């Protein structure tokens, strides 16, 4: 592990203050927080933490790509998200004083900043705006989980696949991108099946159907959404 001196501190502070949680934070408070953490690089295929671990720290992805997933009691893997832009993660365990509810795996060489939960909570206690921003982010996560349950109840698997593809290219389904939008990261058939609550085999058949109908195509290892309006109709949007 290396200290923050190995990374330009002002750059790290800039990356953090560009996130919704710390936007507008006083520079002095930001400097104190950054200097209290450490920077570590994880090799591809290395776990940052495992589901069920204790949660003493909060993480900030500086660069790289990290997968967040969990395993059900039956052993079925559930992909939650793939992080590929600078952002915080792992805060839920610290805030809830509970064990990790998911595992974090480096999909490629990844550099992260790590700070103790106590220091992070102390920072929040002195920065109410950051606390409110964090609560908003957690509320959006709860809303997303509730929406996923609704999709399982009211959308068939084809509709769920179409909706998830759209969500992967647009943060808001009220403002969909133009035709030709490419998924920002590599998403495998197994990943998409996990995100949609279906089997890999059925999702593969649906994606093949989408390709035959000219709704999507593959560009290397990534999907390109060719007909946004067609996918939106299937997703009930």
Cβ atoms of 134 and 194 within 8 Å: the answer is: no
Nearest Cα neighbor of 104 from 136, 58, 161 is: 58
Q: What pLDDT score does 207 carry?
A: 95
The domain made up of 156-234 is a member of CATH 1.10.10.10: yes
% of the chain surpassing 70 pLDDT: 96
Q: What are the boundaries of each domain within the chain?
A: 2-146, 156-234
Q: With bands split at pLDDT 50, 70 and 90, how would you rate the model's confidence at 3?
A: very low
Angle formed at CA 189 by CA 68 and CA 42, multiple of 5 degrees: 35
Q: What pLDDT score does 7 carry?
A: 59
CA distances from residue 147 to 50, 151, 183 in whole angstroms, order as listed: 26, 6, 21
Q: Is the pLDDT of residue 98 over 90?
A: yes
Query: What's the number of CA atoms in the CB half-sphere (13 Å) around residue 142?
Result: 7
* CA–CA distance, 231 with 229 (Å, rounded to integer): 5
pLDDT-wise least confident of 46-50, 110-114, 188-192: 188-192
Q: What pLDDT score does 74 carry?
A: 67
pLDDT digits (tens, 9 = 90+) for 155-178: 899 999 999 999 888 877 778 889
First-residue to last-residue Cα distance in the chain: 47
**CATH topology for 2-146?**
Jelly Rolls (2.60.120)
Token pair recorded at residue 202: 């059925």
Contacts of 82 (CB under 8 A, 6+ apart): 65, 66, 67, 68, 107, 185, 187, 191
* CA–CA distance, 198 with 207 (Å, rounded to integer): 13
Query: What's the number of CA atoms in the CB half-sphere (13 Å) around residue 188?
Result: 9
* CA–CA distance, 163 with 114 (Å, rounded to integer): 34
């Amino acid at each position: 592990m290396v200290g923050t001196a190995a990374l330009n501190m002002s750059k790290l502070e800039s990356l953090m203050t560009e996130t919704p949680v710390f936007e507008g934070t006083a520079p002095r408070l930001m400097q104190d927080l950054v200097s209290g953490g450490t920077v570590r690089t994880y090799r591809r295929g290395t776990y940052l933490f495992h589901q069920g671990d204790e949660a003493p720290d909060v993480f900030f992805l500086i660069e790289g790509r990290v997968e967040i997933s969990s395993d059900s009691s039956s052993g079925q893997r559930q992909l939650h998200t793939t992080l590929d832009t600078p952002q915080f993660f792992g805060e839920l365990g610290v805030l809830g004083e509970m064990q990790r509810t998911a595992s974090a795996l480096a999909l490629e060489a990844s550099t992260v900043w790590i700070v103790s939960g106590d220091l992070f909570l102390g920072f929040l206690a002195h920065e109410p705006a950051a606390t409110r921003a964090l609560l908003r982010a957690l509320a959006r996560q709860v809303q997303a989980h509730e929406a996923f349950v609704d999709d399982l109840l009211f959308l068939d698997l084809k509709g769920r696949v179409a909706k998830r593809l759209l969500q992967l290219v647009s943060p808001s389904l009220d403002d969909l991108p133009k035709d030709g939008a490419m998924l920002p990261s590599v998403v495998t058939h197994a990943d998409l099946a996990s995100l949609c609550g279906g089997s890999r085999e059925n999702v593969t058949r649906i994606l093949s159907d989408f390709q035959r109908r000219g709704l999507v195509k593959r560009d290397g290892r990534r999907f390109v959404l060719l007909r946004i309006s067609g996918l939106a109709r299937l997703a009930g949007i």
